[in-house]
Chain A
Amino acid sequence: MSIITGSTQQLFIEQMNLLFHEIKLNKDQLPYISEEAFERFCQSGFPTVRNEEWKYTNTEPFLKRSYSIPDRDNVQLNNDDLSGLLTTFQCHRVVFLNGYFQSQLSVILEDDSSVEITAIKDCLSLYTDMIKTADEILPKDGWKYLNDAFILDGTCIRIKKNNVAKYPVHIIHLTDQNEQALFIQNKNLIIVEQGAQATCIESFYSTALKPVLSNHILHLNIADDGHLTWFKLQQLQDRADGQQTLINYTSASLHKQSRLNIYTLALNGSLIRNNLHIKLCGANSEARLNGFYAPSDKQLIDNHTLVDHAVPNCYSNELYKGIINDNAKAVFNGKILVRKDAQKTNAFQSNKNILLSDNAIVYTKPQLEIFADDVKCSHGATSGQLDDESLFYLQARGISKREAYKMLMLAFAEDITADIQSDELRNWLNRCIEEKIQ
């Protein structure tokens, strides 16, 4: 046995090196591997707190342990009752267990020809250019390079031209492991073709008793006149010593007159880092970014967003809200970039936080970079306690303090889901929020 020395950075790179060698032995089973990307990862390493974008989010404690790549043929489910994470309404269901697609847990509804769901390996060559453009949108750092070096699996969902998807698509990233800590990477690609419309839900769920480090990438591409509503539901319950770390980069390219409504509900996870980078590259496109995060205990949830207005006449509106409890920490960093040509841009951003304990912390940083002159932009951030006056008003009507707290927190949070049109979907998400806030 060798004695381990050196920095976390060195050790992590070494560890990834070993995993990458192991991976290469099975490379036929993987969608792709890239020596070049891995080389870049080795040069850059993971971003540390010395990197401005990672200043408040120290991943080091989570990268010290040793992780294994899950075994494709030996995935067993601790708890095969998935009902806790399934929607109450019909969906196409694409399930990844420990990073691998599970056909027996997945459901592709036959009577919907508007949606094509395939393995990512089968369509990489079809969409090389699209993926390349999407890659440009994401931050060029170690996490991205690592995901570019290899993934275990992934899906490609195509909503066909001028079709409205009959059912939502529910992608489930489920992790479950009792013996060893796992390292998992997926990449998903969603293509909304011209004039097509769809709603998708992406759940992150864990029943693992051991730590899991996930580093996933999602690319959304919405063609002219396409509409996409996307929900991210991050419920990585950390139990026993099962620390759940999720790095989740998302790119979105919005073409002419297209629309994206994206909801990021980060409810549980030892450490969650979301990078949501949206590029409005077609005129008259619209993006709405909604976020809710509720870290408790020692959890850390970090949302970094970038809205890049590259062309004129686009609209973006971002609202992120957080409730931070116990010793938890939240980071919100929202950047709006309005490029020189992007005249008549409307870009709005707001971040609101409630701190429930003296030890809860939020770092919020809105950033506006505006290079055009004819624009309407605004941003604002608040953080504070629950309003005492409101609390007293409810109590003065006979409502217990505990219940009053809950009502006020739910009212604060459900502002994020209020504009969801489907009652079923909204209620389902609100129940997930309520479960966390109890």
Chain B
Amino acid sequence: MNILEIKNLHAKVEGKEILKGLSLTVKAGEVHAIMGPNGSGKSTLASILAGRSDYEITDGSVLYKGSDLLALAPEERAQQGVFLAFQYPVEIPGISTTNFLKTAVNEIRKAKGLEPMEAKNFLSMMKEKMKIVEMDSKLTSRSLNEGFSGGEKKRNEIFQMAMLEPSLAILDETDSGLDIDALRIVANGVNQLKNADNAFIVITHYQRLLDYIVPDYVHVLSNGRIVKSGTKALALELEAKGYDWIKDLETA
């Protein structure tokens, strides 16, 4: 089954074209890695999928589980199982992670016509998922991401992903700024959540992450398009050769 089907996607921000005909199909059970130079449009793609409104879609289509994703509000996408682990998670003073997740879980349940989760069940679910990412329970009672270290913020993203159990998770450079241990923990989290019904898009600059999360496909995004796709071997090649040869491919 196709979880995501992007066809010829063109997108502008402030009049400037960032995505220039991007196509990508992701099937259930797959892990796709997206690599590519800074500024090539990776976060733009992730943001568009999550529903950020700053972008103007000028052409192309995105189907999620067979229906138009772009027609949905960000919260509707999340309610239907789309999850973005932010490259730069936002700090929100005055809202605790626990309270935030309780609201999120219950809003998603409401959208599915379910009753709010019982407090007891919610807490045991929190506990269970916190274990997966080895997250300190002290963090969850603090204001959301406020004063969290870079690594703690990323771990919190994966924790949220574990809580919301999405069908399509997009991880935007979740590995940047993580030490080796944290990297392993985050990767373990992903591997534990992975199953035959969901899919992952992992945006990264480092092939190191892909030692832990083994992708089915590796794509290179350059100048707003996917210019090359391959297997994990492509990531190794990029690591060795850099992006210049790809840029050459693009103009060729």
Alpha-carbon distance between A398 and B90 when the two chains are bound, in angstroms: 16
Decide if B92 touches A396 in the complex (CB within 8 Å). Answer: no
Q: Which of B53, B94, B104 lies in contact with A397, CB distance below 8 A? A: B104
The stretch of A3-11, A261-269, A405-413 in contact with B is: A405-413
A403 interface neighbour in B77, B89, B103, Cβ under 8 Å: B103
Say if the beta carbon of B134 comes within 8 Å of chain A.
no
In the complex where A393-B89, A395-B51 touch, is A401 in contact with B73 (Cβ < 8 A)? Answer: yes
| B132 interfacial by beta-carbon distance below 8 Å | no
B138 → A minimal CB distance (Å):
18
On whether the beta carbons of B94 and A415 are closer than 8 Å, the reply is yes
Complex Cα spacing A393 to B86, Å:
9
Scoring B residues 76 to 97 as 1 if CB is less than 8 Å from chain A, else 0, what string do you get? Answer: 0111000110100110111100
Contact A399 B107 (CB under 8 A): yes
Q: Is A135 an interface residue (CB 8 A)?
A: no
Interface check B100, CB cutoff 8 A = yes
Interface membership of B71, Cβ < 8 A: no
Query: Does B107 lie within 8 Å of A398, measured CB to CB?
Result: yes
The 8 Å CB contact of A392, one of B74, B79, B83, B93, is B74
Q: Is the CB of A410 within 8 A of B94?
A: yes
> Shortest beta-carbon distance, B214 to chain A, in Å?
27
Further contacts, 15 of them, CB under 8 A, given A394-B92, A398-B78, A411-B95: A395-B51, A395-B74, A395-B75, A396-B51, A396-B77, A397-B101, A397-B104, A398-B111, A400-B107, A404-B75, A407-B100, A411-B93, A412-B94, A415-B94, A418-B94
- Asked if A389 is at the interface of the complex by the 8 Å CB criterion, the answer is yes
B78 pairs with A396, CB closer than 8 A? yes
B75 and A407 form a contact (CB under 8 A): no
B104 with A399: CB separation less than 8 A: yes
CA distance A430 to B167 in the complex (A): 37
Q: Say how far B227's CB is from chain A's closest CB, in angstroms.
A: 28
CA gap between A399 and B86 in the complex, in Å? 16
Q: Does B103 lie within 8 Å of A407, measured CB to CB? A: yes
Q: Within B41-89, which residues are at the interface with A (CB < 8 Å)? A: 50-53, 73-75, 77-79, 83-84, 86, 89
B51 touches A408 (CB 8 A): no
A410 to B: closest C-beta gap in Å: 7
Give chain B residues whose Cβ lies under 8 Å from the Cβ of A390.
Answer: 90, 92
Q: Shortest CB–CB separation between residue A286 and chain B, in angstroms?
A: 24
Is A414's CB within 8 Å of the partner chain B?
A: yes
CB of B160 within 8 Å of the partner chain: yes
CA distance A263 to B130 in the complex (A): 38
User: How close is A279's CB to chain B, nearest CB, in angstroms?
Assistant: 32
Within 8 A of B (CB), among A382-438: 387, 389-390, 392-401, 403-404, 407-408, 410-412, 414-415, 418
